[in-house]
Amino acid sequence: MNKILLVVKREYVTRVRKRSFIIMTLSTPLLFAGLIGALLWIATMDQAEQKIITVIDDSGLFKNKFQNTDDLHFLYLDLDLETAKSDLNQLGPDGLLYIPDIDIQNPQGIQLYSESNPHFGVLNKIESTLEKEIELIKMKRMGVDQQTLEIIDTKISVTTLSLTSSGEKESNAEATFGTAYVSSLLIYFFLFLYGVQVMKGVIEEKYNRIVEVIISSIKPFQLMMGKILGIAAVGLTQFLVWVILSILVTSAGVSIMGFKQDAATIVSESAGVDNSSMELAQSSPGIWEMMDTIPFTYVMVTFIIYFLGGYFLYASLFAVVGSAVDSDADSQQFMFPITIPLIISIIALGFVLNDPDGQIAFWMSMVPLTSPVIMLGRIPFGVPFWQLALSVSLLIAGFIITTWIAGRIYRVGILTHGSKVNYKTLTKWFFQNY
Amino acid sequence: MYLLEAKNICKSYANHKALIDVSLQIPKQSIFGLLGPNGAGKTTLIRIITSILQADSGTVLLNGEELNRNHIQVIGYLPEERGLYKKMRVGEQLLYLARLKGLTRSTAVDRIHRWLRKLDMAEWSRKNIEDLSKGMQQKIQFIATVLHEPQLIILDEPFSGFDPINVNIIRDEIMELRNNGATIIFSTHRMESVESLCDHIALINKSEKILDGRKKDIKQQYRSNKFEIEHAGPIGSLNHGYEILETQALENNHYQTVIRVPDKHNPNLLLQAIMGQSEIHKFSEIIPSMNEIFISKVSEQS
């Protein structure tokens, strides 16, 4: 046991000390945060400029009905359309809204002229104002009085709640979906990245021929497990540094720029959220509050469990590949079948996220080879405890079996050089007396 | 007293037998030459002794005790195909290998310093292995093999890749280790190093041991009863069963003659017989070299 620790320590220290590891670990979250920050910054800059929309209302129905906001100013002019069009530059380049003398029953011919394509949010606001006003006029003509109208006017925002044993919690569909997607992709990426590192490490030892010296001191299985555990620790370190840095950078960014609430509105506006829900957004929680509704600690803990479980499963398979081949170049043929379940998981992820409790989702989150990616995709939507427990148990059983198989093939493989290896050889090695 | 005894070792792989009923006895403080052509089974035998492989049948006793995990610390093994972690520093690498053998950190550090100084490599301690020449890397491997002061040191072709100067340095180190009490198994097919180093040998061919014993005894056993004589003036006929095998004329009326004598013969009698006829300049028994014994035994079998 003590000797496994020595191997773990070597694997860990030599990797963590590498310049490439330090750069990647520190730069990734900064890069990511920088990117998001830049986007938000650009969005705020964009927002600061107030757009002036010139309105020519031949119908006379919409006088002062358009509400000026921080970013939109409506300017009413009593000009004819042709003059206004030719003077568009002087009036303001942002837009010229022309409302002809329309028939209330069939409002046609309302036009918005502008030099560039109008912003989606602008168009939305104009359309919804027009619709609302025409509806009002129609209702008044049908004899509905102002008071009734006020009673009728209803604003609805569906608050999504997730029902858990610990009580109701506000949830947010977009945030849930995003978390699911990101954590699935991340675990896929981690399993791949660190699995391949195990394989490369085994190939290095075999190729360098240091392996024979080492296994005259420790058992091959100890060497393999030490390597797998050491690299797992590297992976966890990287993950934790990313999480901590992301939190630090985001909160630092948010407090410095002071756009916590702004950012939320900008994000939802640029996502094309419709005007009325925009107004509601003021009263309902912002993006940051919505993010708080995802149980991040729970997602992170399950992420670590599935990362470790899935990693042990795949790493031992990758170790077999490393022990079977003589060089990196030969590893392709054996790597392919290992990566298939991972690739299938990623392909199936779309279905799973659309139907996180469906048959595909359930079964793929039980099979150990696919469960890490798929279960991580299901977890933010809520998974019954028994399913989680079953899936984790199967995953643990899975990696115990693969590690055992891997150990038997590995001990023969690392000492075998120069022979052509195929699946039959691997089977033979598995059954070979040691 | 034997340090290591292998009894009736058998080992087969999927398609061939690597060792058939091989027994060996390796005396304490000897340098034991394990000889044999490529593919004879030497490496398999060594891997069984180092617990890398398990014999199908037979036992290995170390100090009279059946081989177990505790023996790892008393064995040092330098494989034929060997290497080091290229991206690791010399000092760290030696420390890692020593700790895997069970040394404490402080003992290991002390000994590493001592050995690096001894082999004139102290200033390389913080360099990466890949920055070292091949010869220096092999010295590091040698140090790694002996750092934990093993009772049994197994060296598989230790001199391959060394220049003559380094060969001498390592040879001296091996002798010193033996004199300090270590037992050395020396596997090779280069006979000149066997000649100068080994005191016991075993010859393995085609998975079987075909010869073993003290080098001196084996040579005695394979002596051909031939003498080589350099003399001035020709030798005529000889009686007493002496047989002139060949005569070669050298310059100035000097000759070189090979004479076969009967078994259990006293060389003084041969000298006397020749002295009457010719002036003797050189007189020596032709003792077979290990190389000749090796070739004759191996080709005899095939």
Spatial distance between the Cα atoms of A57 and A80, rounded to a whole number of angstroms = 10
Query: Residue B149: which pLDDT band, with cuts at 50, 70 and 90?
Result: very high
Supply the pLDDT for residue B300. 82
Which among B225, B155, B140 has a CA at the least distance from the CA of B190? Answer: B155
Distance of residue B55 Cα from the nearest chain A Cα, in angstroms: 8
Tokens 């990426």 found at = A189
| B46 vs A: CB within 8 A | no
CATH number for the domain spanning A125: value is: 3.40.190.10
Give the tens place of pLDDT for each residue, B219-248: 888 887 888 889 888 887 777 778 888 888
Q: Are residues A94 and A180 in the same domain?
A: no
Mean pLDDT, chain A, whole residue set: 80
Q: What is the mean pLDDT of residues B185-192?
A: 85
A311 and A270, same structural domain?
yes
In a domain, A46, yes or no: no
Q: What is the CA radius of gyration of chain B?
A: 24
Same domain for A97 and A243, yes or no, is no
Binary contact (A217, B97; C-beta < 8 A):
yes
Asked if B144 has any chain A CB less than 8 Å from its own CB, the reply is yes
Residue B103: pLDDT above 80? yes
Tens of pLDDT along A236-293? 999 899 888 888 877 776 676 655 445 445 444 444 444 444 444 444 445 555 555 6
What φ, ψ does residue B12 adopt, rounded to 5°? -125, 150
Residues A217 and A351 occupy one common structural domain:
yes
Which chain B residues contact residue A428 at CB under 8 A? 14
Q: Where in chain B is the domain with CATH 3.30.70?
A: 224-286
Do A70 and A213 share a structural domain? no
Residue of A6, A14, A212 with shortest CB distance to B52: A212
**Are both A136 and A261 inside the same structural domain?**
no
**pTM exceeding 0.90:** no
pLDDT in the model for residue B238: 76
Domain ranges in chain B with CATH number 3.40.50.300: 2-220
Query: Would you say residue A155 lies in a domain?
Result: no
A41 pLDDT tier (thresholds 50, 70, 90): confident
Contact between B199 and B30 under an 8 Å Cβ cutoff? The reply is yes
pLDDT confidence of residue A48: 54
Domains: count for chain A: 2
Residues 203-242 of B with CB under 8 A from A: none
Distance of alpha carbon B253 from the chain centroid: 42
**What local confidence, expressed as pLDDT, does residue B142 receive?**
93
pLDDT in the model for residue B89? 92
Kindly state whether residue A41 falls inside one of the protein's structural domains.
no
Is A167 inside any structural domain?
no
Check whether residue A19 and residue A86 sit in a common domain. Answer: no
pLDDT, residue A91, reads: 59
The contacts of residue A172 (CB under 8 Å, 6+ apart) are: A160, A285, A290, A291, A293, A294
Task: State residue A147's pLDDT score.
Answer: 80
**Segment B208-212 mean pLDDT:** 89
Taking contacts as CB-CB distances below 8 angstroms, the residues of chain A near B85 are 14, 204-205, 208, 210
DSSP assigned state of B189: S
The CATH number that domain B2-220 falls under is 3.40.50.300
Rounded alpha-carbon distances, angstroms, from residue A13 to A301, A322, B131, B132, B141: 25, 21, 20, 22, 22
Least confident of A40-54, A202-216, A313-327, B222-236: A40-54
Residues of B in contact with A434 (CB under 8 A): 53-54
Q: From chain B, pick out residues whose CB is under 8 angstroms from the CB of A433.
A: 54, 56
Residues A183 and A326 in one domain: yes
Distance from CA of A229 to the nearest CA of B (A): 17
In a domain, A299, yes or no: yes
Is A38 within a domain?
Answer: no
For B62, residues 6+ apart whose C-beta sits below 8 A from its C-beta are B3, B4, B71, B74, B75, B152
User: pLDDT by residue (tens digit) across A155-183?
Assistant: 776 766 656 554 555 556 777 788 888 88
Read off the pLDDT of residues A413-425 as tens digits, 9 standing for 90 and up: 888 887 778 888 8
Q: How many other C-beta atoms are found inside a 10 Å radius of the C-beta of residue B181? A: 10
Q: Note whether A27 and A56 are same-domain residues.
A: no
Fill in the DSSP letter of residue A76: E
Contact A215 B52 (CB under 8 A): yes
φ and ψ at residue B159, rounded to 5 degrees: -95, -5
Residue B98 main-chain phi, psi, to 5 deg: -70, -40
pLDDT of residue B46: 93
Min Cα separation A311/chain B (Å)? 24
In chain B, the percentage of residues whose pLDDT exceeds 70 is: 99
Distance, in angstroms, between A195 CA and closest chain B CA?
Answer: 20
B128: DSSP letter: B
**A322 within some domain:** yes
Whether residue A193 is found in the same domain as residue A116: no
Based on the domain organization, do A286 and A351 belong to the same domain? Answer: yes
Long-range contacts of A10-18 (CB under 8 A, 24+ apart): A10/A226, A10/A230, A10/B96, A11/A201, A11/A226, A11/A227, A11/A229, A11/A230, A11/A231, A11/A233, A11/A234, A12/A230, A12/A231, A12/A233, A12/A234, A14/B85, A14/B87, A14/B88, A15/A197, A15/A230, A15/A231, A15/A234, A16/A234, A16/A237
At residue A434, the pLDDT reads 63
Asked whether residue A261 falls in the same domain as residue A313, the answer is: yes
For A6, the closest of B75, B84, B99 (CB atoms) is B99
- CA–CA gap between residue A202 and residue A212 (Å, rounded): 12
Q: Kindly indicate the confidence band of residue A93, based on its pLDDT and cuts at 50, 70 and 90.
A: low
* Local confidence band at A297 (pLDDT 50, 70, 90 cut-offs): confident
Q: How far is CA A313 from the centre of its chain?
A: 24
The answer on pLDDT for A98 being more than 80 is yes
Give the CATH class of B224-286. Answer: alpha beta
Give the model's pLDDT for residue B22. Answer: 93
Distance CA A95, CA B41 (A): 90
Q: Is the pLDDT of residue A223 over 70?
A: yes
A45-59 core/surface letters (b: 16 or more CB in 10 A; e: else): eebeeebbbbbbbee
Cα gap A111→A90, rounded to integer Å:
19
Q: Contacts for A354-363 with beta carbons within 8 Å, 24 or more apart? A: A356/A180, A356/A381, A356/A383, A357/A381, A362/A387
Asked if the structure places residue A94 within a domain, the reply is: yes
In Å, how far is A313's CA from the nearest CA of chain B?
Answer: 26
The boundaries of the domain holding residue A129 are 51-145
> Where does a domain end: A145, A160, A185?
A145
